[in-house]
């Protein structure tokens, strides 16, 4: 390990204006506000209504928000990682388009897809590039237009997901702040339980796949829930043990917002009081790659230099993990 650590030095976010409430969902499928709130903690989500805008729009707006809060010249950015499960196009990296749109003219860029763990894995990738000493500014964007892959007649998925974008800038730190440790895992068993069946190389699009609605995301919610609870809690407690962190030492849990009950179970296992658990699932639902940076952006003012943050995520694949980060600035 080098003496350079990778610190987050700025964050930004964007959510579209349109608010899809539980009350509106009640008019689309057989559900109700009480069920959605008690089973998931979600009250509303944001939806990108403009049919001519893809996920890149959400990510670009989040990156612009970040840049507006710093004096970083976009031409100084060395690389842009775009974490997403809903790229604009199947081929042609969304990252390249976004990098050009924000005038990161000297950057190289690529997409990173690990479903709901895309941003967490992206944090690991960004950190390694910075720790290498070769790169000084890595912009990690996490965005998803989940509404583009949701069947609004399927009550088991349409109540959960929303659209949004977030961004974090990684830079070298010489005071020992930033990314300290990570525990990342995956298990291919997951693709039986959470997936989009058609549109990839295994089952390319045909008139039948469209008619059979095989281009929408489907999940066996109960099974995913069980794996998510045990693995997210397990990864987070492992990170604590490995770094000799007690529940007193952890200042904040920043967990993927898939279901409030999954986050609560993780916090319980870590012995954390609810005040230390960042939560905004009530307002945005599950925005897949955007949940972690949306939390950072919403709670930025509360995070203090030197605070111990534990990140956790679980998603399709399955993919999951936890990271320990020392926050590097006061805003």
Instruction: Provide the binding-site residues for ligand UT7, judged by CB under 6 A.
Output: 31, 35, 39-40, 116, 155-156, 159, 194, 219, 221-222, 224-225, 228, 258-259, 286, 314-315
Cβ closer to ligand UT7: 154 or 251? 154
Q: For this structure, is 116 an active site residue?
A: yes
| Residues facing residue 324 across a β-bridge | 181, 310
To the nearest whole angstrom, how small is the minimum distance from the Cβ of residue 301 to ligand UT7?
27
CA distance 239 to 45: 31
What the block records as the tokens of 198 is 């058609």
d(CA 192, CA 307): 39
Nearer to ligand UT7, 155 or 242 (CB): 155
Q: Nearest to residue 160, comparing CAs of 268, 53, 29?
A: 29
- CB-based contacts of 147, cutoff 8 Å, min separation 6: 47, 48, 161, 162, 163
User: Using CB atoms, what's the residue nearest to ligand UT7?
Assistant: 221
Do the Cβ atoms of 78 and 136 come closer than 8 Å? Answer: yes
Nearer of residues 222 and 301 to ligand UT7, judged by Cβ:
222
Q: Quote the least distance from Cβ 67 to ligand UT7, whole Å.
A: 29
CB of 164 to ligand UT7, least distance (A): 14
Q: Which structure tokens are listed for 171? A: 């830079």
Cα–Cα dist 150/263, whole Å: 23
Q: H-type helices in the chain, by residue range?
A: 22-28, 33-40, 55-68, 94-101, 118-131, 207-211, 221-242, 260-270, 281-284, 291-298
Closest distance to ligand UT7 from the beta carbon of 318 (Å): 9
Q: Which of 158, 210, 150 is nearest to 29 (CA)?
A: 158
* Token reading at 106: 């000297």
> Does 158 participate in catalysis according to the annotation?
no
How far apart are the C-alpha atoms of 179 and 171, rounded to whole Å? 11
Residue 223 C-beta: closest distance to ligand UT7, Å:
8
The catalytic residue among 116, 231, 280, 308 is 116
Nearer to ligand UT7, 218 or 242 (CB): 218
**Nearest CB to ligand UT7, comparing residues 156 and 186:** 156
What is d(CA 316, CA 118) in angstroms, rounded to the nearest whole number? 10
Which member of 173, 231, 286, 308 is catalytic? 286
Q: Strand, coil or helix: what is 140?
A: strand
Retrieve residue 225's tokens.
Answer: 């829930």
Residue 291 C-beta: closest distance to ligand UT7, Å: 8
Catalytic residue from among 256, 259, 280, 308: 256
For ligand UT7, the closer of residues 39 and 218 by Cβ is 39
Pick the closest to residue 165 from 58, 49, 86 (CA basis): 58
- Residues tagged active-site: 116, 256, 286
């Amino acid at each position: 390990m080098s003496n350079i650590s990778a610190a987050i030095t700025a964050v930004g976010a964007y959510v579209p204006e349109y608010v899809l409430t539980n009350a509106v969902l009640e008019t689309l499928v057989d559900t109700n506000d009480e069920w959605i709130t008690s089973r998931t903690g979600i009250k509303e989500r944001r939806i990108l209504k403009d049919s001519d805008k893809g996920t890149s729009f959400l990510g670009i707006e989040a990156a612009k928000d970040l840049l507006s809060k710093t004096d970083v010249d976009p031409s100084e950015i060395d690389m842009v990682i775009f974490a997403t499960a809903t790229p604009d196009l199947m081929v042609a990296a969304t990252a390249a388009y976004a990098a050009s749109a924000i005038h990161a003219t000297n950057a190289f860029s690529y997409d990173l897809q690990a479903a709901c763990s895309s941003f967490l894995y992206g944090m690991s990738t960004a950190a390694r590039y910075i720790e290498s000493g070769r790169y000084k500014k890595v912009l990690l964007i996490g965005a998803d237009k989940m509404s583009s892959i949701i069947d609004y007649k399927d009550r088991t998925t349409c109540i959960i997901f929303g659209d949004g974008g977030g961004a974090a800038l990684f830079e070298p730190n010489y005071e020992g702040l930033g990314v300290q440790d990570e525990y990342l895992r995956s298990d291919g068993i997951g693709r039986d339980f959470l997936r989009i069946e058609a549109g990839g190389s295994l089952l390319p699009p045909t008139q039948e796949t469209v008619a059979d609605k095989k281009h929408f995301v489907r999940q066996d919610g109960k099974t995913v829930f069980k794996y998510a609870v045990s693995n997210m809690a397990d990864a987070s407690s492992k990170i604590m043990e490995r770094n000799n962190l007690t529940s007193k030492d952890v200042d904040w849990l920043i967990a993927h917002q898939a279901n409030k009950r999954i986050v609560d179970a993780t916090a319980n296992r870590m012995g954390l009081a609810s005040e230390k658990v960042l939560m905004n699932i009530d307002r945005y639902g599950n925005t897949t790659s955007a949940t972690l940076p949306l939390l950072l952006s919403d709670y930025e003012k509360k995070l203090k230099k030197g605070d111990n943050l534990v990140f956790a995520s679980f998603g399709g694949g399955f993919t999951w993990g936890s990271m320990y980060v020392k926050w590097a600035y006061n805003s």
